Structure 1
Amino acid sequence: MKNKFVYSATDLTTFDKIMADYGWIIYEDALDANFIEEITSSLVKAYEVRREIQIANGIGANMNGTLHHLVERDTFTLKFLDQKYCANQIKHFLKGNYILNSLGAVINLKDDRPYVQNIHRDVRSFTGDFKVMIQMMIILDDFTLENGATYFLSGSHKKDDRPDDDYFYNNADRAVAKKGSIILFDSNLWHAAGKNNTNEKRRTLTMAFTRPFFKQQLDYPRFLGYAFGETLNEDLRQVLGYNSRTPENLDEYYQPVEKRMYQPGQG
C-alpha cells in the first residue's frame, strides 16, 4: 500500500493538502548517490571540528551526533543550495522570498541520546496559520523503524500545546524514507528523532528556511564575507540572506536603495 506521506511530483495542490492535513511530506529520489556520498564524506571532518568546540564549552553531554551551521565556502553546502531543492514548495509555503535560517546535520548512533530525541518543535513561538518557517530534512541513509526514523505527530502543527509523552509516542507516525529523499515539514509540528537500535549510522541534513525578516541562527553573510557574496549568483545571495541584512553603523544604513542591506521584496 502506498505511503500517504510519500510523493515524487511537485504538484502544489497536493503539497497544500498534505501539509494542511498532516504537516509533513516526503519526496523520494531527490538526490543522487554521488552527491549523497560527497555530503556524508564531508560530515566526518565537520563533526570533529564541532565536537571539539562542544566539549570545550561544556555542552557535549547531549550534543552527540549533532552538527550545526555547515554553510562554508569549500564544502557541499553552496552546491546544495544552488540546486534549489523544493524551492517552489518553500516559496509557496512562505508566500514569497525566503532565506536560510540554519543548515546542520544529525548523525544518529546506537545508544546516543542527543537533544533531538526530545519531543520538540523547531519554532519556539506557535505561529498557527501565519507561516514563518519550514523545515527540510535530507535523508542520507535509509530511515527505518530500527535505526531511529523520526517521529512526527501528524496534525499537531495546528495546536500550540506540547503533547504528553504517552500520547505522542502512541499516536505519532514514523518517517520511514529511502536514502536520497527530502522531507519537508511545518515548523509548528511536534516531532522527535527516534533511537537507533542498529550498529549503523543514521545520518540526515537538517535545515530551516524562513521569511527574510526572521533572524538567522548564524549571520551567514558576515560569516562568509560581504565581498564573497558579490561572487554569488542572485539566487544564492537571496537564500543566504545577503538581501535582508542588518546595518551595523550609519554608513551602512545611509545608502541608495540599490545598495541598501535590506532590499525590496523581502517581506
Structure 2
Amino acid sequence: MKNNYTYKFENTKKFETAMDKYGWLIYDEVVPLAFIEEINADLEAAYRLRRTIQKRNGIEEDMKGTLHHLLEPGNFGFELLSQLYCDAQIRHFLKGNYILNGINGVINLHHAHPYVQKVHRDMRSFTGSLKLMIQMIVLLDDFTLDNGATFFLSGSHKTDTKPNELKFFGKADRAVAKKGSIILFDSLIWHAAGKNYTDIPRRALTLSFTVPYFKQQLDYPRFLGYEAGENFSEEMRQIIGYNARVPANLYEYYQLPNRRMYQPGQG
C-alpha cells in the first residue's frame, strides 16, 4: 500500500507544507532496527512495573497496554533523546527551544480497548495557528491495517470541532509504515489508535514535545534529580527540562543568571 504521507527525513520545507495541509507525516525507517530491539526488550520490565501500579490504583482496564514516563536510568530513554531525531523539524514547528512533555509507550493488544483507541486530540484546548505541542510516534513494529495502524483525520488540526465517529472512521487516513519509522503530528489533529485484529502485540513509543513554558506531564528534572542534570549535555538538559524549571523556594529564585531555574531563551 503506497502511503501519500511519507517524506524524506531531511526536507524541512516539505515538513512545513505537510504539517500545514495534513497535520501529520511519516519518515520511513529512521531508527536503526538494532536499537528498536533494545527498546522492545526494555518495554517488558517497564510494562510489568506500570501494570502493577495501575492495578493497585484501580485503573487497569482503561490503561491496558499503556506505559507512561519511560525516561529512567538504565533504559533506552536517554539514548533515544540524545539522537535528536527530528530536532530541526520540532524546532521549526515550535519556533525555537522545546522540552519533553512526555515519553510513553503503547502495546496494542488483541481485544484490548485502551483510551488511545477513542477519537481524541492531545491538546485539550484549540490554539489554532499558535503551536504549543508536537507529537512523535516511534514504530517498534510494522504498522498495518490489521494490527492497528493509527487513524488520522487529515486537516482536522485546523478545526475545533470534534468529528463524530462515523465521519472520523469513514474519512480518516491510516499511518501504515515500517518498523523504525517516525510519525510526527500536530497535537491538535483528531486521531485514534486502530484495533489490533492479530494475535501479535503492536508496539510503539509516543513522545510529546512542547514550548518550554508548557507544564510537563511529569517533572522529569525533579524525578531524575537536579544533580543528575549536571552530567547531561546542554542539548539533553534543554530537552529534558532542566533549563525551564520552576523555583520551589526563595533561595532557588534569587540566583545569578547562570544558576537560575528558568534559563534565557525558553520563550
- TM-score using structure 2 length: 0.99
Which residue of structure 1 aligns with residue 82 of structure 2? 82
The corresponding residue for 1:217 is: 217
Counterpart position of 1:4? 4
| Residue 123 (structure 2) aligns with | 123
Output the CA distance in 2 between the equivalents of 1:122 and 1:2: 27
Instruction: Give the distance between the partners of 2:250 and 2:204, measured in 1 at CA.
Output: 42
Deviations 1:172-220, CA, capped at 9 Å, x for gaps: 0000010000000000000000000001110000010000000000000
SS of aligned partner of 1:85: coil
Q: SS of 1:178's equivalent?
A: coil
Contact 1:117 1:193 in 2 (8 A): yes
Could you report, residue by residue, the CA deviation over 1:132-188 in whole angstroms, capped at 9, with x for unpaired residues? 000000000000000000000000000001100100000000000100000000000
Deviation for aligned residue 1:9:
3.0
Q: Paired residue for 1:39?
A: 39
Could you tell me how far apart the structure 1 residues matched to 2:81 and 2:27 are? 17
Cα deviation code 1:79-127 (max 9, x no counterpart): 0000000000000000000000000000001000000000000011111
- Return the alpha-carbon distance in structure 2 between the equivalents of residues 6 and 200 of structure 1: 25
The Cα of 1:6 is off from its aligned counterpart by 0.6
How far apart, CA to CA, are the structure 2 residues paired with 1:3 and 1:106? 23
Q: Residue 132 of structure 1 aligns to which amino acid in structure 2?
A: L
Corresponding residue number in structure 1 for 2:133: 133
Aligned AA for 1:210?
T
Cα deviation for residue 2 of structure 1 reads 4.6
1:17 and 2:13 aligned: no
On the 8 A contact 1:31/1:180 being kept in 2, the answer is yes
Q: Secondary structure at the residue paired with 1:51?
A: helix
Q: Tell me, yes or no, if the aligned pair for 1:138 and 1:180 is still in contact at 8 Å.
A: yes
TM-score by length of 1: 0.99
Question: Unpaired runs of 5+ in structure 1?
Answer: none
**Overall identity of the aligned pairs, in %:** 60
Q: Which residue of 2 aligns with 1:95?
A: 95
Q: Secondary structure of 2:36's match?
A: helix
Given the alignment of the two structures, is residue 255 of structure 1 paired with residue 255 of structure 2, yes or no? yes
Alpha-carbon separation, structure 1, partners of 2:126 and 2:43: 32
Supply the RMSD in Å over aligned alpha carbons. 0.8
Aligned to 2:188, what secondary structure does the other structure show?
Answer: coil
Q: Secondary structure at the match of 1:239?
A: helix
**Superposed displacement of residue 19, structure 1:** 0.5
- Does 1:239 find its partner at 2:239? yes
For 1:147-226, list aligned pairs within 5 A.
147-226=147-226
1:103 is paired with a residue whose SS is strand
One-letter identity of the residue aligned with 1:18:
A
Supply the AA of the counterpart residue of 1:227: E
Q: Secondary structure at the match of 2:180?
A: coil
> Does the aligned pair in 2 maintain the 1:8–1:29 contact within 8 Å?
no
- Counterpart of 1:121 in 2: which secondary structure? coil
Match of 1:104 in 2: 104
Hey, what's the Cα distance between the residues in 2 that align with 1:73 and 1:249?
Answer: 27
CA shift at 1:29, angstroms? 1.6
Tell me if structure 2 keeps the 8 A contact 1:139–1:179. yes
* 1:8 to partner: Cα distance: 2.4
Paired amino acid for 1:56: R
State the AA in 2 paired with 1:194. G
